[in-house]
Amino acid sequence: MKLYQHLTYQVEDRVGYITLNRPDKRNALNDVLMVELRDAFMQAEQSAEVKVIVLKGNGPAFCAGADLDYLRKLQGYTMEQNMADSSALASVFLTIYRSTKVVIAQIEGHAIAGGCGLATVCDFAFSVPDAKFGYTEVRIGFVPAVVMTFLLRKVGETRGKELMLSGSLIDAQTAVDYDLINRVIPADEMEGYVKEFAQKLCQKNSSASMQLTKKMIADIQDFPLENAIKFAAKMNAHARTTPDCQRGIQAFLDKEKIQW
């Protein structure tokens, strides 16, 4: 198993756990962590032992956004360096969003700015009651540019404007109400809840089906209606030919319980 400087990666019962591991820095993002995050997700993506991925943070914060030392370093970047760095951040978000594996955010502390972005691109997000969420970039003259594409898809323009233009923090229940995360879980139940949820996905759902469904959700929103229907029909036909579908339908017809 590969060792990382700022995160840990381990596999248990077909679940890949990627844990941000800078508790003294509130798991803040820097250039090293972004490279490691993408690498760990690619490792999980390519592993036949991993069906579901859980992203979480070590310590009191999920992720506090950009590291202060990292921000200081950015002050001296050229346009070319800034473009390369921004592209690296975009690649991390897109890698998580486009992962063929289901990704669960286990949020046990504040998720701010880029940290809120990480929560946004996951397929499921569960939070403890005390966590705060927000896109605070406008408060320091910055722009939540990269994550905007994903956030608007998730919460719509009205909520997106409220979050990104105000720069305000919201509590976990408000994040649920805004469709930013899925639900609030008591802190002492979080670990068990996420493990059980991940195992249900592993045991009850087909990997191929979840993969195709994720791809369709990501792609179909960009198509005009007629093209979307044609794409959907094509994917429907393709799904019928997969071994998982043939196996699943046969088990259903035979009234047999299938174990994925």
Mean pLDDT across the chain: 93
What local confidence, expressed as pLDDT, does residue 235 receive?
80
| CATH superfamily placement of domain 7-202 | 2-enoyl-CoA Hydratase; Chain A, domain 1 (3.90.226.10)
What local confidence, expressed as pLDDT, does residue 227 receive?
85
Which among 12, 137, 157, 226 is annotated as catalytic? 137
User: What distance in Å separates the CA atoms of residue 11 and residue 49, rounded to the nearest whole number?
Assistant: 8
What local confidence, expressed as pLDDT, does residue 7 receive?
98
Q: How many CB atoms lie within 10 A of CB 99?
A: 19
Per-residue pLDDT tens digits for 140-183:
888 999 999 999 999 999 999 999 999 999 999 999 999 999 99
Q: With contact defined as beta carbons under 8 Å apart, do 135 and 151 qualify?
A: yes
User: What distance in Å separates the CA atoms of residue 58 and residue 68, rounded to the nearest whole number?
Assistant: 19
Q: 150, 186, 99: which is closest to 135 by C-alpha?
A: 150
User: What distance in Å separates the CA atoms of residue 224 and residue 220, rounded to the nearest whole number?
Assistant: 9
What local confidence, expressed as pLDDT, does residue 162 receive?
97
Mean pLDDT of the region 225-246: 82
Per-residue pLDDT tens digits for 62-98:
999 988 888 888 888 899 988 988 899 999 999 999 9
Q: For residue 247, is pLDDT > 90?
A: no
Question: Is residue 36 flagged as an active site residue?
Answer: no
Calculate the alpha carbon distances from 49 to 16, 199, 207, 243 in Å. 8, 13, 12, 19
